[in-house]
Amino acid sequence: MEKLPNYITFSRIPLALSLFFTTPLNAAFYLIYGLCGLSDFLDGFIARKTGTTSEFGAKLDSLADLIMMGVLLFMLYPVVSPSTNVIVWIIVIAVIRLISVLTIFKRYKTFAVLHTYGNKITGILIFLFPVFLLFLSPTLLLYGVCLVASISAVEELLINLTSSELRVNRGSIFDSSKL
């Protein structure tokens, strides 16, 4: 039972990669995408309920999330046709996040991504993005997600630059308590 959350987390990687064999926004895409989301919810929920959270599990979860987001970006790029400004904005967000990860690595000799409220909200918005595409303008969605992602990326970087210890479950820059 102690490894179940990690197995669920790992399942997200082949599930995400299998999205390459679907057509974006069709039934198969949404089914597999929904399973990815379910695995993302269940792994942490089960780990916390069974007391089996681990540093390895947190890193595996971040890796699975990164792969899923990369696949999603690749799959949805032709569908949303982002403007050059949005592409540059996404690159800037990615650079800020990379600097944040490198800051943690330099300071604490480990790989980690903070689980702040901002990052959780960004993750939820990114996860819901394909669903919202059925109802809203891609441009409007991109601007909204990029705005929230920018704020959370800058917040995470500021936390990593100013904190005296690594606490991956920090709520926000204004709250030093754990989530």
Q: pTM of the prediction?
A: 0.81
Residue 88 C-beta-side C-alpha neighbours within 13 Å? 3
Phi, psi angles (nearest 5°) of residue 178: -80, 155
Categorize the per-residue pLDDT at 10 as very low, low, confident or very high, splitting at 50, 70 and 90. very high
Residues 6+ apart with CB under 8 A from 76: 24, 129, 130, 133
CA pair distance 153, 173, nearest whole angstrom = 11
Over 80: is that where the pLDDT of 7 sits? yes
H/E run at residue 48:
helix 27-50
* Average pLDDT value for the chain: 91
pLDDT tens digits, residue range 66-77?
Answer: 899 899 989 999
Over 60: is that where the pLDDT of 104 sits? yes
pLDDT tens digits, residue range 145-172?
Answer: 999 999 999 999 999 999 888 888 888 8
Residue ranges per structural domain of the chain: 1-78, 81-179
The mean per-residue pLDDT over the stretch 92-118 comes to 92
